[in-house]
Amino acid sequence: MHDIILGFAHAWRLLITGDQDVWGTVFRSLCVSGLSTVVGCAVGIPVGAVVGLRRFRGKRGAVALLNLGMSLPPVVVGLIVYLLLSRSGPLGFMRLLFSLSAIVIAQTILAAPLIAALTVSAVESVDRRARMVALSLGASDVRATLTLLGEARFALGAAVIAGFGAVISEVGAVMMVGGNIAGHTRVMTTAIVLQTGMGQIDVAIALGIILLLIAFIVNFGLGFLQRWR
Amino acid sequence: MARELAIDARGLGHRYGAREVLRNVNLQVPRGGVFCIFGPNGAGKSTLLRLLDLLETPTEGRIIVGGVEALPDARPALRRCMATAFQSPYLFRASVEANAAYGLRVRGRPRRERGDRAREALERVGAISLLRLPAWRLSGGEAQLVSIARALAVQPEILFLDEPTGNLDPPNAGRIEALIREYAAANTVVLVTHNLFQARRLAHYAAFLHQGELIEQGRAEDILNLPRDDRTAAFISGEMPG
């Protein structure tokens, strides 16, 4: 018990004094997860919008596939990205393994289907009259679709937040493809795992507090958007 | 001849799956005035309206708007000459002002013009006091007024109104009827209504629709006072079996 209390005291000191290692890791995590979420949105929102709005043969299968993508096991994604990027893999020539780019790729693969699946339900939940009203007032097809997405903006915001929340708290895939290299590819989750294993409980607690705080802000934002809908 | 018609619909038929909703409808809407489409529930009036305002494509037949056939390529441009206020209004999740200005925004009008015309339209329907409110706070009647203002703001050559006073109290209904009369002096208004009293007060032309068929059309006073078909007469006298 004494060690834990001491760990908390040290953790606060690290946070307050602006420890470079701790805050560097936090900054790296936010950048990598933020970029993965942006790329995940760039892929997931258009795909989700098309699947949600268009009628086409195989739509049910597409929705099922996206829902399956939501529950992709992160370590399996990590393994696939690892195999693709490893020196003997088909993309090995790019020399991306154990880099931040590899982490972004893995996190994007995890975030995109989640954002796409939530986008499908977001656009499907918008009243169908929205599109008809937009067209009846002179909007083009594209403009009417954008209007419909605008009507789903709170649910889309929630999808983005959920995507970010999923990737920032992810550890398995990041560890496999990033390699957890100090000062280079170490992010909050992998640092917590490593520091706990090494017995440096104060650093792990400091990072855990920040991760919890981020998770709290993300969930608060999600709840706020859902109440606002 | 075609130029004197706002809309010329020829041989229109429409199906939803196996269900036939409209059958061989030939409808000529003259340019200017109020053209009233009336008929019992389920006659296909709202479907006909959605075909005429080019929101749906008929499974059979042709629609010619102002002498231009509504082929797929021509539809977006033709749609810009029209605007519709629906029976159950849908307002976008935005302010009343943004809703009223939507049609002008998609037409790329400057911000100042959008604001001025949206306010003017809201003033005309008696909803200017709602200007800053979020649309989702409005009552059904207020939403209907804003929906009418939104359609009016783009000053369409053809204005489609589906049961425009269905949710309104008598003073507001009277105001909207006066507005329809005034607007129809220079434009075409296609009005779908159950309300025969309203049809008598407003319509210059009328068409009676029954079970997906156009029974008769012509000058409103002829159709409403001296219908040629027994089904029209039965509906007008309230003796049509339900």
Distances (CA, A) of A71 to A65, A105, A154, B149: 10, 17, 23, 47
- Detail the DSSP E strand segments found in B106-185: 158-162
Q: Give the whole-angstrom CA distance, residue A189 versus residue B165.
A: 61
Q: So what's the pLDDT on residue B2?
A: 45
Cβ–Cβ below 8 Å for A127 and B90: yes
Interface test with A, best of B93, B155, B192 (most A CBs within 10 A): B93
For the stretch A43-72, pLDDT in tens is 999 999 999 998 899 999 999 999 998 888
Q: CB-based contact (8 Å) between B180 and chain A?
A: no
Taking CA–CA distances from B86, the nearest residue in chain A reads: A133
* Measured distance CA(B46)–CA(B25) in Å, rounded: 14
Domain CATH for A126: 1.10.3720.10
Q: From the CA of A164, how many Å to the nearest CA of chain B?
A: 25
Nearest alpha carbon to residue A175 among A194, A161, A158: A194
How much is the pLDDT for A121? 94
- The shortest C-alpha distance from A134 to chain B (Å) reads 8
Report the residue of chain A nearest B151, measured CA to CA: A137
Asked if residue A99 is part of any domain, the answer here is yes
The helix (run of H) or strand (run of E) holding residue B169 is: none
Q: Does B17 touch chain A (CB under 8 A)?
A: no
- The pLDDT of residue B26: 97
Is residue A110 situated within a structural domain? yes
Please give the Cα distance from B157 to B187 (Å, whole number): 5
Can you tell me which residue has the tokens 């037949």?
Answer: B61
Strands of the sheet containing B205-210, edge to edge, are: B82-85, B158-162, B188-193, B33-38, B205-210, B213-219
Tell me, yes or no, if B154 comes closer than 8 A to chain A by beta carbon.
Answer: yes
What residues contact residue B125 under an 8 Å CB cut-off, 6+ apart? B145, B146, B148, B149, B152, B175, B176, B179
Q: Average the pLDDT over A102-117 and give the result.
A: 97
The answer to whether position A13 is within a domain reads: no
Chain B: nearest CA to A161, how far in angstroms? 21
In a domain, A12, yes or no: no
Give the mean pLDDT per block of 10 residues along chain B (242 residues): 79 94 96 95 92 95 95 93 94 96 96 96 96 94 97 97 94 96 96 92 96 96 94 89 63
Whole-number Å distance between alpha carbons of A112 and B156: 42
Burial class of residue B129, CB neighbours in 10 A (0-12, 13-18, 19+):
exposed
Distance from the Cα of B173 to chain A's closest Cα (Å) equals 22
* A125: contact with B, CB 8 A cutoff: no
A61 Cα distance to chain centroid:
24
Tell me how many domains chain A contains: 1
Question: Does A158 map to a domain?
Answer: yes
Q: Give the closest of A133, A138, A153 to B80, CB-based.
A: A138
Angle, in degrees to the nearest 10, between helices A100-124 and A153-168: 150
A206 lies in some domain: yes
DSSP A20-88: HHHHHHHHHHHHHHHHHHHHHHHHHHHHHHHHHH---TTHHHHHHHHHHHHT--HHHHHHHHHHHHSTT
Q: Which residues of B98-121 are buried (b: 16+ CB within 10 A; e: fewer)?
A: bbbbbbbbbeebeeeebbebbbeb
| In-domain check, residue A10 | no
- Is a pLDDT exceeding 80 seen at residue A156? yes
Looking at residue B1, what is its pLDDT?
37
Q: Which domain holds residue A151?
A: 20-228
- Cβ <8 Å between B83 and A136: yes
Cα separation of B103 and B152, whole Å?
Answer: 9
Instruction: Walk across the sheet containing B68-69 and list its strands.
Output: B19-30, B5-16, B60-65, B68-69
Contact B110, B118 (CB under 8 A): no
Residue B188: what residue type?
T
pLDDT at residue A201, rounded to an integer = 85
